[in-house]
Amino acid sequence: MTRINLTVDGMKVSDDVEPRMLLVQYLRERLGKTGTVVGCDTSNCGACTVHLDGESVKSCNVLAVQADGHDVTTIEGLATNGQLHPVQEAFRECHGLQCGYCTPGMIMQSIDLLNHNPHPNEQEIREGLEGNLCRCTGYHNIVRAVQYASGHLAAAAGSSGAPQEVTPA
Ligand code: FES
Ligand code: FES
């Protein structure tokens, strides 16, 4: 067993884990963070995407011990004081989900995309999300949701860029 100390969704955690334990297993099985889901276990689908020190990673592709000393944010850590994160709100407004299985990973990856490129065009959104698969093939509304979030985040930040305002479907 190896001792790890990390922060998960703002909460400091110390634990003993098997060195082979995956981060996604740790989040789900030890911390009960079942909002982070497993769709493939082979780093193909992106359903398990979380942020490690603010950058998206597929948590089935990271060992829990690699998160030692780091800051992990899951889908469950996005809302503040009962308020959805703007990207969560955008997915809700634009119906960017069908069964919802891919949604936690899609949202975490979309936030990472917008952090790096606040005003992505459609092609850039599709490329930015190419590591995340939606089995329901609901990609159209997912792209619309990211465009919607981009516009609202830019408006909230008072950006002078050219946000793509999207009216919910
Ligand atoms: S469960 Fe991690 S990429 Fe599919
Ligand atoms: S909404 Fe069903 S997998 Fe994406």
- Nearest ligand, CA of residue 101? 2
Ligand 1 center–CA 18 separation, angstroms: 20
User: Does any ligand 1 atom lie closer than 6 A to the CB of residue 47?
Assistant: yes
Would the pLDDT of 163 be above 50?
no
With CA atoms as reference, report the closest residue to 109 among 138, 151, 143. Answer: 143
User: Does any ligand 1 atom lie closer than 6 A to the CB of residue 106?
Assistant: no
Burial bucket for residue 27 (CB in 10 Å: 0-12, 13-18, 19+): buried
Helix, strand, coil tally for the chain in percent (to 5): 40, 15, 45
What pTM was computed for the model?
A: 0.93
SS3 50: strand
> Which residues are paired to 49 by β-bridges?
58
SS3 109: helix
User: Does any ligand 2 atom lie closer than 6 A to the CB of residue 91?
Assistant: no
Ligand 1 center–CA 36 separation, angstroms: 10
SS3 56: strand
* pLDDT tens-place string over residues 88-126: 999 999 999 999 999 999 999 999 999 999 999 999 999
CB 136 within 8 A of CB 99: yes
| Positive/negative CA dihedral, 154, 163, 80, 111 | negative
* pLDDT tens-place string over residues 33-42: 999 999 998 9
With CA atoms as reference, report the closest residue to 47 among 134, 111, 128, 146. Answer: 134
| Domains of the chain listed by start with CATH number | 2-76 (3.10.20.30), 86-157 (1.10.150.120)
